[in-house]
Amino acid sequence: MQVGNGKSIVNGIAIGKIKIYKEPERIIYEGIVDDPAAEVARFEAAVEKAIDQQTVLYEKAIVDAGKDIAEVFMVHAAMLEDDDLQDSTKEIITGQKRSAEYATKVGFDNYAQMFADMDDPYMKARAADIIDIQGMVLDNLMGLDSASMQGTEPAILVADDFAPSQTVKLDKSLLLGMICIEGSSNSHTAILARSMNIPALMQCKEVQDDWDGKLAVIDGKNAVVYIEPDKDLLDTLKKRQDEDRKKEALLQELKGKPSETIDGYNVHVYANIGGPADVGAVNQNDAEGVGLFRSEFVYLNSKEEPGEEEQFTAYKRVLESLAPKLVIIRTCDIGADKTIEYMHLDKEENPALGYRAVRICLTRKPFFKTQLRALLRASAYGNLGIMFPMIISVAEVRECKEILEECRQELLKEGYKIADNIQIGIMVETPAAVFCADELAEEVDFFSLGTNDLTQYTCALDRQNAKLEPFSDTHHPAVLRAIKMTIEAGHRHGTWVGICGELGADTTLTEEFIKYGVDELSVNPKSVLPLRKAIRSIDRSKLLAK
C-alpha cells in the first residue's frame, strides 16, 4: 500500500481506480514560415473561436459548477480580447516569421510569466488562466480536443492541476475524486470539487506514474489517499462512505422543505456562523437564515481596531450573499475569555462577571459607533438583524438603541442608504434578563437565548472549570424553566424568541422547546438538517394534550 498526503477540499470518501490525466502532447513547429499573413489570419480565427467557446463553457458552468466558476470564463473571454495580448502575439508571427502555434506559445507564456512573478498570491494564480486560454487557442489551431483525456470509466483523476476549462468539460458522471500535484485550496479545481461535493486532494506530492489504473481511496477527512489499501482499511473506509451517503440522502430528502411539525407548527431553523467563510456552509445545509453571526472575527483577525470600511465590507459580503435570508449579527462580544491586545483590557479576578460585551461598548462609545455605522450601512444590501449581548436591564437596551439612532441620523445626513426593516434584538443569557423579560420584550423585535452563558450564570458553574463537570447538568430544570419563562414573556408582547446556544441543537430537547412555543432555533450549520428532521417528526398538538 502507498500513501499520499495533501490538502483536502471535501470531507467525504472516494473509492475507485486512478486515471492519470495527461495534457495532450502538442508538437509545435519552431521554424520560419513562408506566409506570415496567413498565420495571422489563422491566429485570429483561433482566438475568435476560443472566445465563442468561453461563452459555451460559461453556460455549462452556470449549471453544473455555479456562478463563481462560470465567471472565470467571462474573465477568459476578456483576456482573449485584450489588444496587448493579441498584438504582441501577432508581432511574433510577422516580426519573426513564425507559425501561429509558436507565437501563441511564446506570446502567452510571457503574460503567464508576468502574473507568476507578481507577489500577490491571487494575481500569481492568474497565470493558470493565461495557460488555460493558451491551451484552447493551441487546440483550435491544431485541431485537438482535450475532452478525450478522461477515459470512459468512472475514475479518480490525477493531474498536475486542472485548468478551469478542463474541469468544466469533465464528464461529472465518471468523476469519483480528484488529486492534484499542484493547486491551492483556492484553485478552480478546489472550487469545483467543493461545489460538486467530490473528494479532492491538492498539493499531493507523492503521486507516482505507476498509480495509473490502481485501486485507490481518498479519505477527505484525514487528507490522505491510499493506493491499494489492505482489506481491513478498505472495509472501514467503505463503511464511512456508506454513512456519508446516508447523510447526503437526508440532505436530498429535506432540502427546501419547511421545518414544520406534523400538525403545521413552523420553527425557523437558522445557522450560527463566525465569519464570511461560513456562508457556504449555511447554503449547503439549507439553513433558513443566520440566527447568530458572531462579529468577533473582525476584531480577532486584526492587529489594530478594525475601521468602519473594513467592517462594512465584511458585513455587506455576508448579507449580500445570503439575501433575502435574515442575518442576525451580534455586536462585539469581546471580554471574559476573549481578550484582544489593542483593546487594553485589564486583567480581572472574575472575567465571566466582568467588563465584557455591551458593557465595553456602552463605555467606549466611539468604538461601538464604528460597528453600528458599519452595520447600518451594510443593511442596505440584505436582511439584517442586530443583536446586543449580555443585557441585564431595560436602560442598557434603550441606550444601545439611542446610539444606534444617533448613527442612523448621521449616516442619513451623509447620504447613505439604510434599510428600514432592520430587526433589533437582545441575547437573553443572564438570569436578570430572564426575570425582566416582560419589560425587555417591549423594547425589541426578538430575543435569542444564549444557553451556554445562561446555564453558567443560572447554576453558578464556571464553563471553563473542568473540575465542575460532575456538578453540571446541561438539562438542568432551572435552565429549562428560564427558557420557558422567556418564550412566554416574549410572546405576551409580540416578540419572537429563538435559541442560539448549544441546547438548540440538542434533539432530545426539541419536543420540549416546541411545547414551549419556540419560534426559531439557531445551530451550527451541520446540525440544521438533523434538527429539521426531528421537528418534522413531532406532533405539537399531541405534546400539548399530554
Active-site positions read 188, 500
309 binds another protein (CB under 8 A): yes
Contact segment (CB under 8 A) with another protein among 57-65, 152-160, 211-219, 308-316 equals 308-316
414 in contact with another protein (CB under 8 A) = no
Bridge-based pairing of strands 496-499 and 200-202 is unpaired
**Residue 79 touching another protein (CB under 8 A):** yes
75 makes contact with another protein (CB under 8 A): yes
**Number of CB atoms found within 10 A of residue 162's CB:** 26
DSSP alpha helix (H) spans, 220-307 = 231-254, 279-284, 296-300
303 binds another protein (CB under 8 A): no
Q: What is the DSSP letter of 171?
A: -
Smallest gap from Cβ 132 to another protein, in A, equals 12
- Listed residue (515, 477, 507, 483) closest to 497, CA to CA: 483
Find the farthest-apart pair of alpha carbons in the chain and give their distance in angstroms, rounded.
94
Binding mask of the shown chain, residues 95 to 114, with x at each position contacting another protein by CB under 8 A: ----------------x--x
**Residue 263 binds to another protein (criterion: CB under 8 A):** no
Cα-Cα-Cα-Cα torsion 199, 204, 206, 209, nearest 10 degrees, comes to 70
> For cell 467525504, what's the residue?
12
Nearer to another protein, 19 or 105 (CB): 105
Residue with Cβ nearer another protein (276 or 530): 276
**Smallest gap, in angstroms, from Cβ of residue 41 to another protein?**
23
Tell which one of 25, 120, 349, 469 touches another protein (CB under 8 A).
120
Neighbours of 238 (CB within 10 A): 12
Q: What is the dihedral of CA 507, 511, 517, 520, to 10 degrees?
A: 20
Nine-digit cell at 282? 449555511
Q: Closer to another protein at the Cβ: 128 or 138?
A: 128
Distance in angstroms (rounded) separating the CA atoms of residues 193 and 388: 38
Residue 405 touches another protein, criterion: CB under 8 A = no
Q: Site for another protein (CB under 8 A): which residue of 84, 341, 349, 414?
A: 84
Nearer to another protein, 83 or 420 (CB): 83
Q: In this structure, what are the phi and psi dihedrals at residue 215, rounded to the nearest 5 degrees?
A: -75, 135
For another protein, the closer of residues 296 and 310 by Cβ is 310
Query: In the complex, what is the shortest distance from the CB of residue 120 to another protein, in angstroms, rounded to a whole number?
Result: 5
Letter for the amino acid at 166? Q
Q: What residues from 128 to 187 belong to the interface with another protein (CB under 8 A)?
A: 129
Residue 530: what are its φ and ψ, rounded to 5°? Answer: -55, -35
514 near another protein, judged by CB under 8 A = no
> Which of 20, 47, 61, 85 touches another protein (CB under 8 A)?
85
Minimum CB distance to another protein smaller for 320 or for 410? 320
- CB-side exposure of 114: number of CA atoms within 13 Å? 9
Residue 227: partners with Cβ closer than 8 Å, 6 or more residues away: 1, 2, 3, 4, 18, 211, 214, 215, 216
**Site residue total, another protein (CB under 8 A):** 25
> Which residues of the shown chain bind another protein in the complex (CB under 8 A)?
71-72, 74-75, 77-79, 81-85, 111, 114-115, 118-120, 122-123, 126, 129, 309-310, 313
